[in-house]
Amino acid sequence: MGRRSSGRPTINDVARLAGVSPITVSRALRDPSLVSVELRRLVDGAVAELHYQPNVNARALASSRADVIAVLVPSLTNIVFADFIRGIYDALDDGTLQVQIGNTHYSPQEEERLVRMFLGQRPSGLILAGIDQSSATVKLLKAAGCPVVQVMEYHEEPIDMLVGFSHFEAGKAATEHLVHAGYRRIGFIGARMDPRSQRRMAGYQRALEEAGMFDPTLITTTPTPSSVPLGGELLAEALARNHDLDAVFCNNDDLALGVLFECQRRAISVPHRIGICGFNDLDLMRAAHPSVTSVTTPRYETGRHAVQMVRRRLSGETEEVRYLDLGFRLQARESSARAFAPRWKPA
Amino acid sequence: MGRRSSGRPTINDVARLAGVSPITVSRALRDPSLVSVELRRLVDGAVAELHYQPNVNARALASSRADVIAVLVPSLTNIVFADFIRGIYDALDDGTLQVQIGNTHYSPQEEERLVRMFLGQRPSGLILAGIDQSSATVKLLKAAGCPVVQVMEYHEEPIDMLVGFSHFEAGKAATEHLVHAGYRRIGFIGARMDPRSQRRMAGYQRALEEAGMFDPTLITTTPTPSSVPLGGELLAEALARNHDLDAVFCNNDDLALGVLFECQRRAISVPHRIGICGFNDLDLMRAAHPSVTSVTTPRYETGRHAVQMVRRRLSGETEEVRYLDLGFRLQARESSARAFAPRWKPA
DNA sequence: TTGTAAGCGTTATCAC
DNA sequence: GTGATAACGCTTACAA
């Protein structure tokens, strides 16, 4: 044992105990089918006896490939990304791959910096939120040399692969639901206004234009990060501008909840005087009183699928899914059920 | 350039361009004070010109030390841990250290497996939630050879270092607040009942015992994971058992919100007929109608402090904080303000 | 199917 | 303060 040794058993120790060469141990561990049953048994025995654990750094150095999936999200606390990350972890539970998370704080510059940094580690895969990367980032990703999955949006020309849904269509569907429910002066309330929020708002606008009801003064947004209290504040603003506002499509459930509380505070009847539709369908929306209409989105599933796409690519499967639309579902509840309105029917 | 080369510039390329030896480059990058100003400038120039980025795997292999902080949490979506993790990331924003997160799913066995796995990577530090590790895990951690920080609890004999607050005291303070507010039949509503929940419940029990009001039938718990809808269900259970229940201390804000909605649904007046106190003080508690009393907890700060403790240890500072109580704060609001009750005053 | 030799890019060690 | 040398533990390339 050299002076610099870490003291832990190495592949050489295993090889010696098993009476084989180190490379045979290496093969037996990475792909047992490369080694005869006999030797495989010997190796497994020695590994167990020594409690051998491969050194991931040595492995990565020798193979120029880290057993790591890099994940870039704009926020760590937004439940949307928390659920997504949980999906990733659950899909990776066999422990063969590690996760590295980067927080871009909704900044394309920060995203570019992180992509550069992560790519420097030669990850086995890179998963990142959205389709609005800077052109420099796109260039880096196209030359990444590992599977790249964009998530949480839908687009038919991904950099490499993509899984998500169309925020435009989701925003449009939510707004159409309010139209069908009988509301006529439907507002939009949004915070942060990142690219996905923008696309949901574009869907809202399209739906109202098609219904002949669009009015830009019905839109109330702020670059401030979203929160429940902010929902109430934005509703107050919207009502001050349009006294006849009779429904709001909220950019997310936090804002919708804030709107509901503000209505309660002002004794505004929901859904009769004002209808509410949220976005994401957190479990509290069904528990609220009245229960709140929302759009169910596939956050957890997106994480799982993204990992599966990376895995499939790594295992060299031929028939490959390049983009996957997981869709969304409108969940109609009490908050948008005007007594006299016809029941909304999915298309 | 050998056949196996990754193609990226190495420390040798930098050395050659700067006209110095590789080890000088290494030193200039890790600790500029080890190298003369002259050479340092040459090295910096070469690094910039080649866009050199050190290979973290080679570095980790040669030094037996990865620039990684391992973090173990029981859940990725619980906002408590999401805020904590955000604190960790923000404290690490200079990019010298990477984060590896492990999800223990509230299982000590899984925690042990992850500790074993992470320690195998020789991290620069290990941060983990709670003080209820298995004895095997404790043994591993004591021999970890890196700073270990337990978080989210308070205890004066940490394995190594600790930062958090006392859940027992917090539960006790919340309950005492309800007592002082004039409530007499104060229930406890809890889900999951992990060790921290247990300690908050123990604090609840102590407070009621001291007030001569304890009654075990006032406790309603379930091992089911917490959620807003569950809060409503547990309130229904509690009311079925004790019609005279006049307040509830909820194990967390999700449950408290569920309780509030259920009260609204049943037209039970809050705070007059029933008082509510939550735990964690999410921003929605102040937005709710009525606003909900809760206990503010230092989640984000805990993450920041944990990283600072690791850093301080790594930089070999002498005067060392081994444990740090960040405390909590009772945030009294409308949901626990009985009209006739004396105003609660902090001790 | 198994083994040999060489190298992955960096840092520890020791000499100057 | 700077450099030569030899690891660190594993895998690729090639040979048998």
Whether residue A284 sits in one domain with residue A177: yes
Report residue B343's pLDDT band, with 50, 70 and 90 as the boundaries: very low
List residues with CB under 7 Å of strand D: A 1-6, 8, 10-12, 22-23, 26, 29-30, 52, 54-55, 58-59, 61-63, 65; B 3-4, 20-24, 27, 34-36, 38-39, 58, 61-62, 64
Q: Which residues contact B161 (CB under 8 A, 6 or more apart)?
A: B147, B148, B149, B150, B309, B313, B320, B321, B322, B323
Span B94-148, pLDDT tens digits:
888 999 999 999 999 999 999 999 998 889 999 999 999 999 999 999 999 899 9
- Looking at the domain assignment, is residue A337 inside a domain? no
Average pLDDT, chain B: 94
Span A212-245, pLDDT tens digits:
999 999 999 999 999 999 999 999 999 999 999 9
- Looking at the domain assignment, is residue B339 inside a domain? no
For the segment A270-296, the average pLDDT, to the nearest whole number, is 97
Whether residue A115 sits in one domain with residue A41: no
- Chain B residues whose beta carbon lies within 8 Å of the beta carbon of residue A110: none
The residue range of the domain holding B150 is 63-165+299-327
Look at residues A296, A315, A336 and tell me which one is the last residue of a structural domain: A296
Q: Which residue has the tokens 């990725």?
A: B76
- pLDDT beyond 80 at B4: no
Token pair of A236 as six digits: 């107050």
Report residue A43's pLDDT band, with 50, 70 and 90 as the boundaries: very high
C chain positions with any atom within 7 Å of a protein CB: 1-5, 7-14
The minimal CB distance from A232 to the residues B100, B262, B287 is found for B287
- Looking at the domain assignment, is residue B345 inside a domain? no
- Looking at the domain assignment, is residue B177 inside a domain? yes
Per the omega criterion (within 30 degrees of 0), is the bond before A216 cis? no
Q: How confident is the model at residue A339, as a pLDDT?
A: 64
Nearest residue to B238 (alpha-carbon basis) of B261, B221, B213:
B221
CA A68, CA A57: separation in Å to the nearest integer? 11
For the segment B302-328, the average pLDDT, to the nearest whole number, is 91
Q: How confident is the model at residue B2, as a pLDDT?
A: 55
Identify the CATH number of the domain in which residue B148 sits.
Answer: 3.40.50.2300
For the segment A148-167, the average pLDDT, to the nearest whole number, is 96
Spell out the SS3 assignment of A193-245: CCHHHHHHHHHHHHHHHHCCCCCHHHEEEECCCCCHHHHHHHHHHHHHHCCCC
Q: Say yes or no for a CB contact (<8 Å) between A4 and B64.
A: yes
Average pLDDT, chain A: 94
Whether residue B159 sits in one domain with residue B179: no
- Looking at the domain assignment, is residue A35 inside a domain? yes
Report residue B3's pLDDT band, with 50, 70 and 90 as the boundaries: low
Q: How confident is the model at residue A13, as a pLDDT?
A: 94
CA B318, CA A112: separation in Å to the nearest integer? 38
Please give the C-alpha separations between residue A134 and each of A101, A137, A144, A196, A323, in angstroms, as whole numbers. Answer: 19, 5, 15, 16, 20
User: Is this structure's pTM higher than 0.95?
Assistant: no
Whether residue B155 sits in one domain with residue B102: yes
Whether residue B189 sits in one domain with residue B102: no
Q: How confident is the model at residue B49, as a pLDDT?
A: 95
- Looking at the domain assignment, is residue A6 inside a domain? no
Span A249-261, pLDDT tens digits:
999 999 999 999 9
For the segment B295-301, the average pLDDT, to the nearest whole number, is 98
Q: Say yes or no for a CB contact (<8 Å) between B60 and A64.
A: no
Whether residue A304 sits in one domain with residue A185: no
The minimal CB distance from B100 to the residues A64, A98, A286 is found for A98
Which range, of A91-95, A155-159, B137-141, B324-328, averages the lowest pLDDT?
A91-95
Q: Report CA dihedral (B125, B127, B128, B131) to the nearest 10 degrees.
A: 90
- In chain A, the residue whose alpha carbon lies closest to the alpha carbon of B253 is A284
The domain total for chain A is 3
For the segment A3-24, the average pLDDT, to the nearest whole number, is 90
Nearest residue to B137 (alpha-carbon basis) of B110, B157, B161:
B110
Q: Which residue has the tokens 């408590």?
A: B80
Q: How far is the CA of A48 from the C1' of C2 (A)?
A: 22
Whether residue A262 sits in one domain with residue A238: yes
Q: How confident is the model at residue B347, as a pLDDT?
A: 45
The minimal CB distance from B227 to the residues A122, A229, A283 is found for A283
Span B55-97, pLDDT tens digits:
999 999 999 999 999 999 999 999 999 999 999 999 998 888 9
Whether residue B160 sits in one domain with residue B303: yes
- Chain A residues whose beta carbon lies within 8 Å of the beta carbon of residue B77: 79, 82-83, 86
Q: Say yes or no for a CB contact (<8 Å) between A122 and B6.
A: yes
CA A92, CA A94: separation in Å to the nearest integer? 6
CA A32, CA A27: separation in Å to the nearest integer? 7
- Chain A residues whose beta carbon lies within 8 Å of the beta carbon of residue B4: 64
- Chain B residues whose beta carbon lies within 8 Å of the beta carbon of residue A76: 82, 85-86, 89
- pLDDT beyond 80 at B342: no
For the segment A86-94, the average pLDDT, to the nearest whole number, is 92
Which range, of A66-70, A314-318, B53-57, B234-238, averages the lowest pLDDT?
A314-318
Q: How far is the CA of B41 from the C1' of D2 (A)?
A: 15
- Looking at the domain assignment, is residue A332 inside a domain? no
Question: Which residue, among B76, B110, B118, would best test binding to A if mutated, counting the most A CBs under 10 Å from its CB?
Answer: B76
Q: How confident is the model at residue A317, as a pLDDT?
A: 75
Span A317-346, pLDDT tens digits:
767 789 999 999 999 999 999 865 444 444
Residues in chain A: 347
Span B204-240, pLDDT tens digits:
999 999 999 999 999 999 999 999 999 999 999 999 9
- pLDDT beyond 80 at B305: yes
